[in-house]
């Protein structure tokens, strides 16, 4: 699906009216959410690298949780970034909408950041896609009875979560 900034803006306003996205002045939570994101990513790494013994659950079940924890690490980072823009979200879909609307710059904003030598602050739409993909896979891992993951797919989701959190940490550094 092609990223459409206008659709995200429209959906953001709907979510705002529905109170799934709310204005917030609780900026002190930004650091706490970033810490949760970074530590959850470490837990996901540990979980994906587990080599279970015979008396432990099969690797497949550890992989389910590695995917889910990777996604939640992204969700916590997203909540920090959204809070930095003065909003909080009530659910996963609202987080994705807020990311797309509040963080992905339009062309004029991109040009301004590049002129100011702050292109590192550009949150590309691919990061919203990483979030959406991980959200979907996490849902499947939690609720599907028969889904196996290749090691490549697990690594892809974990790698995207790592890039996502690093980008948000860089943007929020100031």
Q: What percentage of the chain carries pLDDT values higher than 90? A: 68
> For residue 144, what is the domain's CATH number?
1.20.120.330
Q: What is the 3-state secondary structure (H, E, C) of 67-121?
A: HHHHHHHHHHHHHHHHHHCCEEECCHHHHHHHHHHHHCCCHHHHHHHHHCCCHHH
Residue whose pair of structure tokens reads 């896609």 in the numeric block? 129
Distance (Å, whole) CA 156 – CA 130: 10
- Residue 16, burial from CB neighbour count under 10 angstroms (0-12, 13-18, 19+): middle
Distance (Å, whole) CA 30 – CA 84: 7
- What pLDDT does 48 receive? 95
Mean pLDDT of the chain: 89
What CA dihedral angle connects 27, 33, 35 and 37, to 10 degrees?
-150
Both tokens of 73, joined, read 């690490």
Asked if pLDDT for residue 70 goes beyond 80, the answer is: yes
What count of other Cβ atoms lies within 10 Å of the Cβ of residue 173? 8
Asked if pLDDT for residue 115 goes beyond 60, the answer is: no
Asked if pLDDT for residue 129 goes beyond 80, the answer is: yes
44-60: average pLDDT: 95
How many domains are there within the chain? Answer: 1
Cβ atoms of 69 and 162 closer than 8 Å: no
Q: How confident is the model at residue 168 (pLDDT cuts 50, 70, 90)?
A: very high
Q: How confident is the model at residue 90 (pLDDT cuts 50, 70, 90)?
A: very high
Range(s) of the domain holding residue 130 = 5-171
């Amino acid at each position: 699906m092609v990223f459409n900034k206008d659709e995200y803006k429209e959906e953001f306003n709907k979510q705002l009216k529905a109170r799934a996205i709310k204005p917030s002045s609780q900026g002190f939570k930004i650091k706490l959410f970033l810490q949760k994101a970074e530590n959850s990513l470490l837990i996901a790494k540990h979980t994906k690298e587990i080599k279970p013994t015979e008396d432990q659950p099969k690797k497949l079940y550890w992989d389910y949780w590695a995917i889910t924890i990777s996604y939640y690490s992204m969700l916590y980072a997203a909540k920090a970034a959204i809070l930095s823009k003065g909003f909080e979200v009530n659910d996963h879909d609202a987080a994705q909408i807020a990311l797309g609307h509040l963080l992905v710059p339009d062309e004029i904003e991109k040009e301004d950041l590049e002129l100011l030598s702050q292109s590192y602050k550009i949150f590309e739409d691919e990061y919203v896609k990483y979030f959406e993909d991980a959200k979907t896979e996490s849902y499947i891992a939690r609720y599907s009875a028969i889904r196996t993951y290749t090691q490549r797919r697990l690594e892809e989701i974990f790698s995207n979560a790592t890039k996502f959190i690093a980008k948000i940490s860089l943007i929020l550094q100031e």
